[in-house]
A and B are shown apart, each in its own frame.
Chain A
Amino acid sequence: MADQSAARGPTWTKWLVVAVPYLWLLVFFLAPFVIIVKISLSQTAIAMPPYAPVFDGLATFWDNVRELSLENYVWLTDDPLYWRSYLSSLRIASLSTLMLLLIGYPIAYAMARAPKSIRPTLLMLVILPFWTSFLIRVYAWIGILKPEGLLTVALQGLGVLGPDEQVRIMNTETAVFIGIVYSYLPFMILPLYSALEKLDGTLLEAASDLGCPPVEAFWVITWPLSLPGVIAGCFLCFIPIMGEFVIPDLLGGSETLMIGRTLWNEFFSNRDWPVSSAVAVVLLVILVVPIMVFQNYQKKI
């Protein structure tokens, strides 16, 4: 079917349609990964840019291969900063994904149960913050959470805090969790909602007619049927949270380690390009399996 209509046109237009985006992605998406792997294996040079040259043509390619070294990767295992950053990112990303699921599921569920007429409005209300800048949304929380911020003022007004007391959330891991849950909530709600909306209400009616209590009906019918949405939502959040930089940098304290932030500092402050490349390659290796699972589910939805 699809092949036929396409095959009728002259082949060169067909190839042009495929080739233009394909070449763009090969050059600007795939090639950079080859380079990043190569640079992570090269040694830091004093010259600017701060690594030994890579692209000298094929003639010197094998010379280069012989010069490759695992020095940067050894360095990653030597310094506890790196593996502690990876572990801490994994912990923060897993915990916050779980929180997102617990908070997002009831919201998506209520949206799917709402009358058909107001569903588009509710959907719009979820999508709108999703289009708003991450940076702005994180910035909004600084004004709320900082010691002399709006939360302190509000709690003092309510009499929960004394006039001299201040909330101590800013620059802690709690602030990072709040920022992550806030920023990623639409990413969790949208796939959950699209899975729950498709759910056939008559199944639940049948269950209740047959005497199944609502809570049990939820676990036997709703939850298993919403599982594709749950999995898509979790990966859609977990993968980018792993590499998150803005949130830990602006809301977290100096003790909040996350690998995206470590990479950023390695690159912008220490100017060590090979080590930051190695950090990125290891992060990519950790994320390859989740990304492939995500792609699998993306095709199904």
Chain B
Amino acid sequence: MNRRLSWFNVTSLTLGFAFLYIPILLLVIFSFNESRLVTVWGGFSTKWYGEMIRNQALMDAAWVTIRVAVLSATIATVLGTLAAITMTRYVRFPGRMLFSGMIYAPLVMPEVITGLSLLLLFVAMDFSRGFWTVTIAHVTLTMCFVAVVVQSRLVTFDESLEEAAQDLGCPPAKTFFAITLPLILPAVVAGWMLAFTLSLDDLVIASFNTGPGATTLPIKIYSQVRLGVTPEINAVCTVMIAVVAVGVIAASLYTKRAQVEKEKAERAAVLQAG
């Protein structure tokens, strides 16, 4: 499908992207508004960013959120990658159906159900709620997203490279770190990024599983949003959008470069093997 775009195609793209981006753009623009009124433009100012940084409760929440996101994304990436290997390489093992069910179900499961059921588990285990319960909850949710991302890379992976290494006497663990991991790395990095942002953004699951001293940024934002729109919250949201946008664009550039290098490496490996 590579023909010229009709006016209908161009209109749907323009309207579609306008719809997707205008609300976010307005939010960003009004974070630089001098006036406290959100709808009246009072001149350019960065004072709300200053207010934001001086707001200790907000900064504490941001710090908790970043710690939870980094830790949970890292654990989820390890578990998710193992799960992806399990699903692509081990065709038969007892309970495989159950396993793939448990990988796909959390992707669409309403968050209120996941959040509430995990909370009840923690209470039943007499686990005090706080930083760790939020982290575990986020690992459980995000490892499934990592698994799906890494799995889609493993499916297109040339397994003869691994077989060649093992034929030459390379132990499986070494084969994984020397051959498999470098080749699937772009997907693993993308998985980590996805897990990180999902954790950064989550309100519902965190609200159920949080405890004293573990208020995350979305919980803080939610409680303030209920009281009304303020330029300070616009500033916080703008910072979060900027972090995610820079991360996603950097990751996609990295993936593109890695793709080129991967093809080069695969060709070199084939030449060496031959």
Partners in one complex: yes
Q: Place the interface of chain B in its size category.
A: 35 or more
- A256-298 CB mask vs B (1 if < 8 Å, else 0) is 0000100110011000010011001001100100010011001
Q: Once the chains are docked, how many angstroms separate the CA of A14 from the CA of B241? A: 41
Contact partner, A124, options B1, B98, B108, B252, Cβ 8 Å: B252
B166 contacts which chain A residues (CB < 8 A)?
A: 5, 8
- A112–B1 contact, CB under 8 A? yes
- A135–B201 contact, CB under 8 A? yes
Tell me, rounded to whole Å, the shortest Cβ–Cβ distance linking B202 to chain A: 9
Q: Once the chains are docked, how many angstroms separate the CA of A287 from the CA of B109? A: 9
- B72-85 CB mask vs A (1 if < 8 Å, else 0) is 00000001101101
Tell me, rounded to whole Å, the shortest Cβ–Cβ distance linking A74 to chain B: 20
User: Is B163 part of the binding interface, using a Cβ–Cβ cutoff of 8 Å?
Assistant: yes
- A135–B218 contact, CB under 8 A? yes
Q: Which of A60-68, A75-83, A238-246 lines the interface with chain B?
A: A238-246
Tell me, rounded to whole Å, the shortest Cβ–Cβ distance linking A170 to chain B: 11
- B120–A295 contact, CB under 8 A? no
A150 contacts which chain B residues (CB < 8 A)?
A: 26, 39
User: Is A144 part of the binding interface, using a Cβ–Cβ cutoff of 8 Å?
Assistant: yes
User: Is A126 part of the binding interface, using a Cβ–Cβ cutoff of 8 Å?
Assistant: yes
A129 contacts which chain B residues (CB < 8 A)?
A: 20-21, 24
A73 contacts which chain B residues (CB < 8 A)?
A: none
A29 contacts which chain B residues (CB < 8 A)?
A: 102, 105-106, 140
Q: Which 9 A-B pairs have the closest CB atoms?
A: A243-B110, A9-B172, A32-B117, A110-B9, A133-B201, A106-B12, A107-B16, A21-B83, A140-B23
Q: Add 11 more A-B contacts to A125-B17, A243-B112, A243-B113 (CB < 8 A).
A: A3-B92, A20-B79, A21-B80, A21-B83, A27-B121, A36-B113, A131-B194, A137-B23, A139-B233, A149-B38, A295-B105
Which residues does B use to contact A, with CB under 8 Å?
Answer: 1-3, 5, 8-10, 12-13, 16-17, 19-21, 23-24, 26-27, 30, 38-39, 79-80, 82-83, 85-86, 88-93, 95, 98-114, 116-118, 120-121, 123-125, 136-137, 139-140, 143, 147, 159, 162-163, 166, 171-173, 194, 197, 200-201, 203-204, 207-208, 218, 221-222, 225-226, 229, 233-234, 237, 240-241, 244-245, 248-249, 252
Which residues does A use to contact B, with CB under 8 Å?
Answer: 1-6, 8-10, 13-14, 17-18, 20-22, 24-33, 35-36, 39, 49, 54-55, 103, 106-107, 109-116, 122, 124-129, 131-137, 139-144, 146, 148-150, 152-153, 182, 185-186, 189, 196-197, 199, 201, 204, 235-236, 239-240, 242-246, 250, 260, 263-264, 267-268, 273, 276-277, 280, 283-284, 287, 291, 294-295, 298-299
